[in-house]
Structure 1
Amino acid sequence: MNARPAPEFPSWPQFDDSERAGLIRALEQGQWWRMGGSEVNSFEREFADFHGSPHALAVTNGTHALELALQVMGVGPGHEVIVPAFTFISSSQAAQRLGAVAVPVDVDLDTYNIDVAAAAAAVTPRTKAIMPVHMAGLFADMDALGKLSADTGVPLLQDAAHAQGARWQGKRVGELGSIAAFSFQNGKLMTAGEGGAVLFPDEESYELGFLRHSCGRARTDRHYIHQTSGSNMRMSEFSAAVLRAQLARIDDHTAIRDQRWELLSRLLGEIDGVVPQGTDPRADRNSHYMAMFRVPGITEEARNELVDTLVEAGLPAFSAFRAIYRTPAFWEMAAPDTTVERLAELCPNTEAISAEGIWLHHRVLLASEEALHAAAEIITDAVAAR
Structure 2
Amino acid sequence: MTPTSGDDVLSFPSWPQHGAEERAGLLRALDQKGWWRDAGQEVDLFEREFADHHGAPHAIATTNGTHALELALGVMGIGPGDEVIVPAFTFISSSLAVQRMGAVPVPADVRPDTYCLDADAAAALVTPRTKAIMPVHMAGQFADMDALEKLSVATGVPVLQDAAHAHGAQWQGRRVGELGSIAAFSFQNGKLMTAGEGGALLLPDDESFHEAFLQHCCGRPPGDRVYRHLTQGSNYRMNEFSASVLRAQLKRLKDQLRIREERWAQLRTALAAIDGVVPQGRDERGDLHSHYMAMVRLPGISARRRLALVDALVERGVPAFVGFPPVYRTEGFARGPAPADAEELAKSCPVAEEIGSDCLWLHHRVLLADVTTLDRLAEVFSGLVGAL
Q: Is structure 2 residue 355 aligned with structure 1 residue 347?
A: no
Give per-residue Cα distances to partners, 1:151-193, cap 9 Å, x unaligned. Answer: 0000000000000000000000000000000000000000000
* Mapped pair 1:245 → 2:248: yes
Show the 5 A alignment for 1:19-58.
Answer: 19-58=22-61
Which residue pairs with 1:257 in the alignment? 260
**Separation in structure 2 between the aligned mates of residue 147 and residue 309 of structure 1, nearest angstrom:** 44
Give the drift of 1:5.
2.8
2:213 and 2:334 map into 1 onto residues whose CA distance is: 31
Which stretch has the larger CA shift, 294-303 or 319-328? Answer: 294-303
- Given the alignment, which residue of 359, 371, 374 partners 2:361? 359
CA contact (8 A) 2:334 2:341 kept: no
Q: Does 1:77 align with 2:104?
A: no
> SS at the partner of 2:8?
coil
Q: Is residue 2:321 matched to residue 1:312?
A: no
State the partner residue of 2:233: 230
The answer on 1:376 being equivalent to 2:373 is: no
Output the CA distance in 1 between the equivalents of 2:381 and 2:297.
Answer: 12
Cα-to-partner distance string for 1:85-130 (whole Å, 9 max, x where unaligned):
0000010011111111000011011100001110000000000000
Q: Which residue of 2 aligns with 1:98?
A: 101
- Distance in 2, matches of 1:144 and 1:72, equals 24
Question: Are 2:152 and 1:152 equivalent residues in the alignment?
Answer: no
Q: Deviations over 1:280-300 (max 9, x none)?
A: 110000000000001111012
CA distance in 2, matches of 1:95, 1:358: 26
SS in 2 for 1:360: strand
Q: In the alignment, residue 317 of structure 1 is paired with which amino acid?
A: A
How much is the aligned-residue C-alpha RMSD, in angstroms?
0.8
Contact 2:8 2:380 in 1 (8 A): no
Amino acid at match of 1:233: Y
| SS, match of residue 282 in structure 1 | coil
Deviation at 1:378, TM superposition (A): 1.0
Q: How do 1:132-151 and structure 2 match up within 5 A? A: 132-151=135-154
Give distance in 2, aligned partners of 1:181 and 1:384.
Answer: 40
**How is 1:155-174 mapped onto 2 (pairs within 5 angstroms)?**
155-174=158-177
Is this contact kept in 1: 2:300–2:358, CA < 8 A?
yes
Q: CA deviation at 1:301?
A: 2.2
2:182 aligned partner = 179
TM-score by length of 1: 0.99
TM-score normalised over the length of structure 2? 0.98
Q: Equivalent residue of 1:122, what SS?
A: coil
Give how far 1:78 is off: 1.2
| Residue 292, structure 1, aligned to residue 295, structure 2 | yes
The match for 1:10 is 13
1:298 & 1:110 partners in 2: Cα distance? 18
Q: May I ask how many residue pairs the two structures share in their alignment?
A: 385
Q: SS of the residue aligned with 1:206? A: helix
Q: Distance in 2 between matches of 1:372 and 1:30?
A: 47
Distance 1:98 1:65 in 2: 12
Q: In the alignment, residue 358 of structure 1 is paired with which amino acid?
A: L
- The separation in 1 between residues aligned to 2:343 and 2:304, in whole angstroms, is 19
The answer to whether residue 188 in structure 2 is matched with residue 211 in structure 1 is: no
CA-CA distance at 1:26 after TM superposition: 0.4
| Structure 1 runs of 4+ with >6 Å offset | none
In structure 2, C-alpha distance between the alignment counterparts of 1:135 and 1:322, rounded to whole Å: 14
CA distance in 1, matches of 2:267, 2:314: 18
1:211 match: secondary structure: helix
Q: Structure 2 CA distance, aligned partners of 1:301 and 1:122?
A: 34
- What CA distance in whole angstroms lies between the structure 2 residues aligned with 1:66 and 1:83? 12
Amino-acid identity (%): 64
